[in-house]
């Protein structure tokens, strides 16, 4: 039987158990290139270890979903992380689950603004 999940606002504090919120925080902004460009510094960190370990960047273009939306599967990435940042300028939903005994726990859903991402 499907259950309805509440949609929570995406904040650094609410998302902390799952990762980092990426956003253009004015406190990290530095002007560069003669003052013509705003640089938002150190938005998230990436650590890699092990032979052959590397950081890669991919772009995925997902299709809009219709609602209500039923979560049919969730991916797990125990050896790495994924970062999602919108390129469309539109808000999006982020569904994550805590790990419970090696399996996904109760999903939680966050609403990311058009100018936020997650890592």
Question: Is pLDDT of 99 > 80?
Answer: yes
The residue that leads in pLDDT, 40 or 108, is 108
More confident residue, 40 or 6: 6
pLDDT, tens only, 19-45: 999 998 888 889 999 999 999 888 877
User: For residue 15, which of 99, 111, 114 has the smallest C-alpha distance?
Assistant: 111
Q: Is the pLDDT of residue 3 over 90?
A: no
The pLDDT of 90-102, averaged and rounded, is 92
Q: Which two tokens stand for residue 14?
A: 């609410």
Rounded to a whole number of angstroms, the distance between the first and last alpha carbons of the chain is: 31
pLDDT reported for residue 77: 79
The 10s digit of each residue's pLDDT in 42-86 is 887 777 788 888 888 888 888 888 989 998 888 887 777 788 888
All structural domains of the chain, each given as residue ranges with its CATH number in brackets, are 1-118 (2.60.120.480)
CA distance linking residue 101 with residue 98, whole number of Å: 10
* CA-closest candidate to residue 92, choices 55, 117, 58: 117
């Amino acid at each position: 039987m499907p259950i309805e999940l509440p949609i929570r606002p995406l904040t650094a504090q609410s998302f902390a158990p799952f990762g980092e919120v990426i956003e253009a925080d004015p406190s990290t902004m530095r002007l560069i290139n003669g003052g013509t460009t705003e640089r938002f510094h150190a938005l998230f960190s990436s650590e890699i270890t092990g032979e052959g370990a590397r950081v890669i960047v991919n772009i995925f273009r997902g299709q809009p979903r219709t609602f209500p939306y039923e979560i049919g599967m969730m991916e797990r990435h125990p050896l790495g992380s994924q970062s999602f940042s919108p390129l469309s300028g539109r808000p999006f939903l982020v569904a994550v689950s805590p790990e419970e005994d090696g399996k996904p726990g109760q999903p939680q859903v966050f609403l990311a603004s058009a100018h936020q991402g997650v890592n």
